Every structure is written in C-alpha cells, then in structure tokens.
Amino acid sequence: MNMTLTPTTAHQIRNVAIIAHVDHGKTTLVDKMMLQSGQYRNEDLAKLAGGQHGLILDSNDLERERGITILSKNCAVRYTSTSGDSYRVNLIDTPGHADFGGEVERVLGMASGTLLLVDAYEGPMPQTRFVLEKSLLHGLRPIVVVNKVDRPDSRPQEVVNEVFDLLVEMDAPEEFLDFPVVFASAREGWATLDLNEPSDSLRPLFETIIEHVPPPEVGLEDGPLRMQVTSLDYSDYVGRIAIGRVREGTIKRRQRVLVFDRQGNSAERQVGQLLGFDGLDRKEVESVAAGDLCAITGLEPIEIGDTISDLTCTDPLPAVPIDEPTLHMTFRVNDGPFSGREGKFLTSRQLGERLDKELRSNVALRVGPGPSQEQFCVSGRGLMHLGILIENMRREGFELCVGKPEVILRDIDGVRSEPIEQLVVDCPERCQNAVMALLGDRRANLTKMTHRESSGFVHLEFTIPARSLMGLKNRMLNATQGEAIMHHTFLGYEPIRGATPSRPVGVLIANESGMATAYSLDALYDRGEFFIRPGDQVYEGQVIGEHCRVGDLVVNVVRGKKLTNVRAAGKDDNSQVRPVRAMSLETCLEYIEEDELVEVTPSMVRLRKMMLIEADRRRAARQANG
C-alpha cells in the first residue's frame, strides 16, 4: 500500500477548477492534460474511456451517451516545470449546462484559481457568465483559455475582448481585468501564449497555471483542523466517501474528529482511510495538510456541506450557498394499466427513499410532499436537471408518472414574480425574422444583436420567461430548418410578463386497450401525427399522437381488418405505415399539459391523460366549466 504522495508541500500544489459553457472543451482539455503529464499512455486512456468515447472523466453511461458532463469530478496530474520543480495540479472538471449549476457552486470552494474556457468562435455564452459570476464570488482569479483556435472561423482576439467586457460588466476586481490568456486546441493537445508562436504541447498552459494560480496558504497548516465536504462517493466495501479540501490544519489517518451537519449539530467520529489523489487513482496516505484535496472513509452518516473539524473546534464552516430551484413537477406512483410489467420499484415508499437518496448528493434538488401520500413535489434547476434524475431512476428499475413542469413563482416586494432566463440564439440571417416572430409571441425581449459576417450567422440575445422555454426547442429548429443553436441560463426574477401561447393543437387518445394495428393507424393518418408504431401495446386514455386541430380526439387504434371470403386476401395488408414522431423523455416533459402525465418505465416512455376514462374526463370538464 502506497502511504506517500509526492509532492506534499503546500507551495507545490495547485488547485484549479475548469469552468466554461457547454461544449467548449473542458473535459477534452483535462484528458489531454492527463495524457501529457506522462501518467497514462494513449492505450490506457482509451481503455478507461470505455472505447470510442475518448473522455475518461465522463464516466457514467448518460454522460457518454449525451457527450456532456453532468457530475463534477476531480483528478490530479504531476508536472515538472521548466525550472525542474515538481508540482501536483489538482484539476476539478465541472458541468457546462446551466441545469447542473449546483455541481459548479459546491466544488468551487476546493479551488484556488480557475481556467475559464471560451470557444474561439462562440465567445462568452450564457453559462460562461453564470460560472464566472460564481467564481468571482469565491475570489478566484481566472486564466482565460481561448479554445478551438484551429477552427477556420475562429476569432480569438475578438473573444478575448468580449471576455474583458464581460468582466467589466460584472464589476470584477481591477486586478482580475489583467488576466493571463492562453490560446489552445484541446482536441489536438497544444497551447500557446502567442498565436504567432506555434506549440506542440500543453506546457505553456501548465506554466501559466503554476505562475498565476496561488498555492494554498502555508500558515493555515498549524491551526485546528477544518474542512468541508463538497462531494460524495460510495463504495460497497467502505460505504460513503467524503471528498473536500482541507481549509485549516492537518487531517491524519485514524484521527478522532467532529462532524457538524448543516443544522450545526455535531458528532464525534473516527477517520477510517485517508486517501490522496494521484491521477485518476486514490492512494492511502498518513496525513493531508491545509490546501490539499482528500477523500475520507468511516464518517457515516455524512452529507455534502458538513464540516469536519478538530475535537477542540466549535465553529463549523459556513454552508455552501446554492441558488434556489426554478422549476418543479409532481412525481407519483404509476397507476396505469401496465403498471408492474417491467419495473422492480413501484411503491410510493420506494419512490420516496430514492428521492431522499438523491438529495444527499444533488444539492440543487428539493423534494417536498405532494397533494397526496403517493405524490412528491420535486424542484430543480431546469428540465434537463430533473430529466436526468428521471432517466437514472428509469434505468435503475423504477416505474413512475410525472406531471407537467411548472415554474416556481415568488412574491418580491408584494409583486408576483417569475424566473427570467437569458436566451442566446445563433441562426442564419435568413431565419432572423422567423426567430423574432417565434420569441415575440413568448414575451421575449431582445437585448443584443450582432452579425458575424465570417459565417453568415446572426447572434441574438433575449430575456425570456422560463415558462416560455417549454417546447421552444422543437419549434425553433422547425423555424430555422434545424440550423439554430440555442442556449439559456437563469438571470433572476421579474414581474410576470403575461400569458404565453400553450400547445396550439390537441392530442389523439386511445379508447381501447390492445395492440395497435397498421390497418387502424392507416385509416387515421389524416387526423394527425402518431407517437406509436403498429404492434405497440396501448391502453385506454393513452396519448398516442398529436391531433391536427384544436381539441382532443378519441380514436380506436386497435381495430383490425375484418376478414371475409369476399375480398382478396392480398389486399388486406396494403396499409401504409408512415414515420412516427420520436419523443424523448425531455421532449415528452415539455409537450404535456396540466391534465396529462408522462409514464416512465425501464423500457418505455408513454404519454397519458391523468384521467384514463373518457366519461371521467367529460364529467371533470363540466364541473370545471361550472
């Protein structure tokens, strides 16, 4: 067992968080930094990355399938500078989607500096502003890395000026405005301080980190132990593993410590294993001093935000501030006719236990009681934030129904207010009018417009109510022939802007249970567009398509062709099977109305009416109309 990690002195440690907008290349850069540190060979990285994906820090299935980072992760690389000194750089990879901003907020406390990645063409985007604002609150000075400078349409100098303007707009400290700039191509694995001086490695980036990211304060090593848990891992052998940065003092293996929870209650426990980071591995060490990152076992029960301190300490560290959720939806047990056919976890008790488990690590999530004992009100940062949770539960064997997502309203100074988001749209100039018309109906206000002549695109920035984003993506792609690029992030709360258009058409609803037939679907194709294929099992009350007109239409899709000895048998199977609309989980969540649910099982995602029987729906409609 390796009981030492080199180097161990504080001035040889650099803690760096890598922050950026989605798809600007954070995880790709971390992989290349690990490769060029000499700790891994190409074959090792490919094996760890799981084959074709190539990004080892995107470790779970959903991250690899979607090509995004969902969970913050950290690793350590060794680097020998040009002066011959050896350093350990602790790298913290963060998500780029606004919906996972809670992951960014809770891990920035481990860093002493940040690498702010910006795409050489796109420049600062909505999430760039969000993550930069959070890092400034922690007093972290950014190193600006202009990535993808090898793109043919890159505009690196303009992007640097835009980052400067953004910092000025955000009232950054004056010393932060003189930020170091590194130009890089993370995919090709090189960086340079001057575009006229080409490079073949990331050494200029490493040297900039060593020079501009401050080492941990050495004087804190002599004080009483204090550290805060910013991440959790789990092992079947040792249970929960607490991860964080030692703020003061030194923590030792087998040491007796106090653990303060968020309410300030303390309990005495003993450190089990003490693990330091080396590459992707964790190695057992005897002690970890202030400024370094470590992982600790044996402290259960332990939660994110808890403080681990010396037995003589009475003051826990302040809790990590997390922005409040902006969206909520109702989770409930699956009470449909097909309940229990596929899932292993069906009851409200199992659903509640799973949500409680998620709360332990998902700090941006909130769970409260619903209208009944079988329902839970789950709040999160956005549709993708909650969609990822539902997708993980589905893969674990849960069956559940989910209601329409709704924004969380607040009363601010006696005024009813709603969440407002910043929306950025890049689209071809010929589609500009269609985009403006689409967003104008949704109460969006245009704040900035720039033409990018090199690509023929126009860059539009709006403020828009969060509720108006529901179902916007598909309509935006239709309006721009699939060429628009759209990003958004939370800005704040403003007075409610007024009504926005709901779904313009009704839905097709099955009136019988059974197997959908090609014959019946073919006879109904002029009524709208279907979500199901011939051979799919349907039940009464299931939403099986979109009506071509306003209002819902109840149809029979299980009717078969009556066979007689009069017709020729060859004409019975000439039904036309047309393409269906593929509906992903998040698309379904955006699509449904208040009287509908999304039914989620391990292998299927269905849409259904809340009341399955047509007579019940009619009776409820009469009562609602008085």
Asked if 542 and 557 count as a contact pair (C-beta separation under 8 A), the reply is no
**Integer CA distances (angstroms), 129 to 135, 164, 172, 191, in order:** 10, 12, 12, 24
Q: Is 474 flagged in the annotation as binding? A: no
Q: Is 312 flagged in the annotation as binding? A: no
Q: What is the DSSP string of 49-91?
A: TTSSS--TT--SHHHHHHTS--S-EEEEEEEE-TTS-EEEEEE
Q: What is the DSSP string of 183-204?
A: EEETTTTEEES-TTS--SSSHH
DSSP 516: -
The phi and psi torsions of 65 (rounded to 5 degrees) equal -70, -40
Q: Is 23 flagged in the annotation as binding? A: yes
The token pair at 369 is: 């009681």
Q: Is 148 flagged in the annotation as binding? A: yes
Asked if 406 and 413 count as a contact pair (C-beta separation under 8 A), the reply is no
Q: Is 413 flagged in the annotation as binding? A: no
Asked if 30 and 93 count as a contact pair (C-beta separation under 8 A), the reply is yes
DSSP 321: P
Q: Is 25 flagged in the annotation as binding? A: yes
Q: How far is CA 321 from the centre of its chain?
A: 18
What angle, rounded to 10 degrees, do the helices at 26-36 and 203-212 form? 100
- Identify the CA nearest to 228 among candidates 143, 286, 313: 313
Asked if 421 and 491 count as a contact pair (C-beta separation under 8 A), the reply is yes
Q: Cα separation of 378 and 386, whole Å?
A: 8
Q: Is 26 flagged in the annotation as binding? A: yes
Q: Is 44 flagged in the annotation as binding? A: no
Q: Is 230 flagged in the annotation as binding? A: no
Rg (CA), the chain: 27
Q: Is 28 flagged in the annotation as binding? A: yes
| Alpha carbon distance, N-terminus to C-terminus of the chain | 75
The token pair at 64 is: 């690899």
Q: Cα separation of 400 and 394, whole Å?
A: 8
Q: Cα separation of 556 and 185, whole Å?
A: 57
Asked if 421 and 443 count as a contact pair (C-beta separation under 8 A), the reply is no
DSSP 358: H
| Residues placed in the known binding site | 23-28, 147-150
| Residues placed in the known binding site for GTP | 23-28, 147-150
